[in-house]
DNA sequence: TCTTTTTATATTTTATACAATCTTCAAAAA
DNA sequence: TTTTTGAAGATTGTATAAAATATAAAAAGA
């Protein structure tokens, strides 16, 4: 399937490369090199980078170029706290409005992934599945702006979630919790569901923080950001 | 003071023109015309429009151009509900961490605006003052990501806040509530402050909805969006 | 007359070329 | 030895020009 514009294609691909860890935090993204990579001029590359800047994955320094951003532990904690707040809000609005087709849809996504899980490591796809399930769960709330914010938060933290999954084997646990979450939702137990959701998110957060802090002393010091943070 | 790049200057100015109502929802923003306006080429204009797209003020339709977005009543309600959620979170975190200098700063902003209020209509500046005060109040929470989301929500709803202020005389009431908000914060009364904040935001929302629905039958039918909404 | 196809025009999107800015590295002065 | 200055090189930011795409208007067929 063809993309609408080259800028969009390039943006999607660079995003993937950042999220997959190919471009770690602090690396400079040279417009020339990327343009050559995709065999396009620098203009669509520039537009792609601007899009990614808006998503928080990239930061522009005037006349110095674009660099991938890096999140501190405190920022990661903040992002996950916000996820608790917003996703809790969404789930609480969604549960009373939950219809049978919506429940079916969410259940189907779970089953599909359960099957995929058995066939081997699917870390690359896990983020998408994860988000698809949560989205299906929140859809009945019919709050597109809130969903949009949640999506933003997910994009920003996605890199670190992947990293955690590479180091720990928490996918199965998350998957079990997803099943419980769906069951609570089916039964209309909003309080129990939200409580579980909060634990679900915060424990993932702590897992990431543990990996981050563990990795710092496991390998050498990680790449420091190439530039001092401005402002 | 000079801007860093032309694209940023153009983005700031177009944003202002959208928020001030010069470009109502649904108007097409032609790159040619804007480039001529600012006496620059179309590329910085394009980049500015991309920035504004990320902020939700503009939407691109591939090969058809950029159009200013328009919010439905339900979307406005959703935005203000999210403001309640996030700003409540921020205020609650901020109050226990409130220092004397922070309180002073917020108080100073209030006094400055009180003074400006007497000297005449300042609707154009009110949004900035309003945001500056709220920001000062939330700053002790030290949650930049949350502040960022709040800022986004404000930008999106700013047009409608201005509109309300043009039609109703609610500035004084909001100003009184700001003083009360600061007083509760000084006294460490988090519950009372958050409750007031919630009322403060939701009443503003209802004011906007009233104006929107009133205006529709006051003047003729407003400009319909030039394009059918896609997706 | 109505529908479908074709052509034309306007606008966006992308490529190429140029200008402005920043970084680097060496050389000179303190 | 350390600091500062300045020119070369590299990279970004912008302008102009060409290509691609969508809207509209016109023409052909049913």
Q: How far apart are CA A155 and CA A56, in angstroms?
A: 8
pLDDT at position A230 over 80: no
Residue-wise pLDDT tens digits, A120-178: 656 677 888 899 999 999 999 999 999 999 999 999 999 998 888 878 778 888 889 99
A contacts of B47 (beta carbons < 8 Å):
46-47, 50
The answer to whether residues B192 and B64 touch, using CB atoms and an 8 Å cutoff, is: no
Residue-wise pLDDT tens digits, B135-153: 999 999 999 999 999 999 9
Cβ-defined contact of B75 to A47 (cutoff 8 Å): no
The answer to whether residues A21 and A159 touch, using CB atoms and an 8 Å cutoff, is: yes
Residue nearest to nucleotide D13 (CA to C1'): A63
Which are the contacts of B24, defined by CB distance < 8 A and separation ≥ 6? B68, B70, B222, B223
Q: What is the pLDDT of residue A220?
A: 32
Locate tokens 């909404």: which residue? B229
A120 touches strand C (CB under 7 A): no
Q: What is the pLDDT of residue A228?
A: 33
Q: How far apart are CA B183 and CA A177, in angstroms?
A: 44
* A143 part of contact set with chain B, CB < 8 Å: yes
Q: A165: exposed, middle or buried (C-beta count within 10 Å: 0-12, 13-18, 19+)?
A: buried
Q: What is the pLDDT of residue A54?
A: 93
pLDDT level of residue B179 (50, 70, 90 thresholds): very high
Distance from CA of B40 to the nearest CA of A (A): 16
3-state secondary structure A163-207: HHHHHCCCHHHHHHHHHHHHHHHHHCCHHHHHHHHHHHHHHHHHH
Q: What is the pLDDT of residue A170?
A: 81
Residue-wise pLDDT tens digits, A45-77: 999 999 999 999 999 998 889 999 999 999 999
Residue nearest to nucleotide C10 (CA to C1'): B64
- Nearest partner of A205 among A132, A153, A149, A133, judged by Cα: A153
Cβ-defined contact of A50 to B55 (cutoff 8 Å): no
A28 touches strand D (CB under 7 A): yes
* A230 part of contact set with chain B, CB < 8 Å: no
- Helix, strand and coil in chain B, % to nearest 5: 75, 5, 25
Q: A194: exposed, middle or buried (C-beta count within 10 Å: 0-12, 13-18, 19+)?
A: buried
Q: What is the pLDDT of residue B87?
A: 98
Q: How far apart are CA A176 and CA A172, in angstroms?
A: 6
Cβ-defined contact of B82 to A50 (cutoff 8 Å): no
Q: Please give the average per-residue pLDDT across A90-116, as a whole number.
A: 93
Distance from CA of A121 to the nearest CA of B (A): 32
Distance from CA of A110 to the nearest CA of B (A): 26
The string of DSSP codes covering B74-125 is HHHHHHHHHHHHHHHHHHHHHGGG--HHHHHHHHHHHHHHHHHHHTS--HHH
| Count of other CB atoms within 10 angstroms of residue B61 | 12
Q: What is the pTM of this model?
A: 0.88
A contacts of B62 (beta carbons < 8 Å):
4-5
Phi then psi for residue A65, to 5 deg, are: 115, -170
**Containing H/E element for A58?**
strand A58-61
For chain A, percent of residues with pLDDT exceeding 70: 89
Q: What is the pLDDT of residue B114?
A: 83
Report in angstroms the alpha-carbon separations of B93 from B139, B140, B190, B193: 10, 8, 9, 12
CA nearest to A3 within chain B: B62
- In angstroms, the CA of B43 and the C1' of C5 are apart by 36
B41 touches strand D (CB under 7 A): yes
Beta bridge partners of B68: B58
Distance from CA of B43 to the nearest CA of A (A): 9
- In angstroms, the CA of B47 and the C1' of C26 are apart by 39
The answer to whether residues B90 and B138 touch, using CB atoms and an 8 Å cutoff, is: yes
Show the tokens assigned to B24.
């109502």
The answer to whether residues A201 and A87 touch, using CB atoms and an 8 Å cutoff, is: yes
Q: What is the pLDDT of residue B143?
A: 97
A2 touches strand D (CB under 7 A): no
* B198 part of contact set with chain A, CB < 8 Å: no
Residue-wise pLDDT tens digits, A158-173: 999 888 887 877 888 8
In the three-class reduction of DSSP (H, G, I as helix; E, B as strand; rest coil), residue B60 is classed as: strand
Q: What is the pLDDT of residue A169?
A: 75
The answer to whether residues B178 and B110 touch, using CB atoms and an 8 Å cutoff, is: yes
Q: A106: exposed, middle or buried (C-beta count within 10 Å: 0-12, 13-18, 19+)?
A: buried
Q: B184: exposed, middle or buried (C-beta count within 10 Å: 0-12, 13-18, 19+)?
A: buried
In the three-class reduction of DSSP (H, G, I as helix; E, B as strand; rest coil), residue B175 is classed as: helix
Q: How far apart are CA B127 and CA B170, in angstroms?
A: 13
Interface of A with B in 19-78 (CB under 8 A): 43, 46-47, 50-51, 53-55, 62-63, 75, 78
CA nearest to B89 within chain A: A85
Nearest to B78 among A50, A54, A143 (CB): A143
Q: How far apart are CA A53 and CA A50, in angstroms?
A: 5
Cβ-defined contact of A85 to B85 (cutoff 8 Å): yes
Q: How far apart are CA A26 and CA A23, in angstroms?
A: 8
Residue-wise pLDDT tens digits, B93-136: 999 999 999 999 999 999 988 888 777 666 677 888 899 999 99
The string of DSSP codes covering A86-143 is HHHHHHHHHGGG--HHHHHHHHHHHHHHHHHHHTS--HHHHHHHHHHHHHHHHGGG--
Show the tokens assigned to B69.
């977005």
């Amino acid at each position: 399937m063809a993309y609408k514009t080259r800028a969009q294609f390039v943006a999607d691909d660079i995003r993937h490369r950042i999220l997959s860890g190919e471009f770690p935090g602090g690396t400079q993204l040279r417009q020339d090199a990327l343009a050559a990579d995709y065999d396009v001029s620098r203009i669509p590359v520039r537009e792609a980078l601007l899009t990614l800047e808006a998503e928080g994955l990239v930061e522009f320094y005037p006349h110095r170029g674009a660099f991938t951003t890096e999140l501190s532990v405190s920022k990661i904690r903040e992002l996950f706290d916000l996820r608790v707040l917003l996703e809790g809000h969404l789930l609480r609005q969604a549960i009373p409005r939950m219809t049978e087709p919506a429940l079916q849809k969410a259940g189907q996504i779970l089953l599909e992934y359960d099957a995929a899980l058995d066939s081997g490591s699917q870390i690359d796809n896990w983020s998408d599945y994860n988000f698809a399930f949560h989205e299906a769960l929140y859809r009945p709330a019919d709050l597109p702006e809130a969903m949009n914010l949640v999506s933003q938060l997910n994009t920003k933290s996605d890199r670190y979630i992947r990293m955690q999954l590479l180091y720990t084997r928490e996918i199965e646990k998350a998957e079990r919790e997803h099943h419980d979450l769906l069951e609570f939702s089916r039964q209309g137990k909003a309080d129990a569901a939200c409580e579980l959701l909060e634990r679900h998110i915060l424990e993932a957060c702590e897992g990431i923080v543990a990996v981050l802090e563990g990795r710092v002393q496991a390998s050498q010091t990680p790449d420091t950001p190439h530039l001092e943070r401005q402002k």
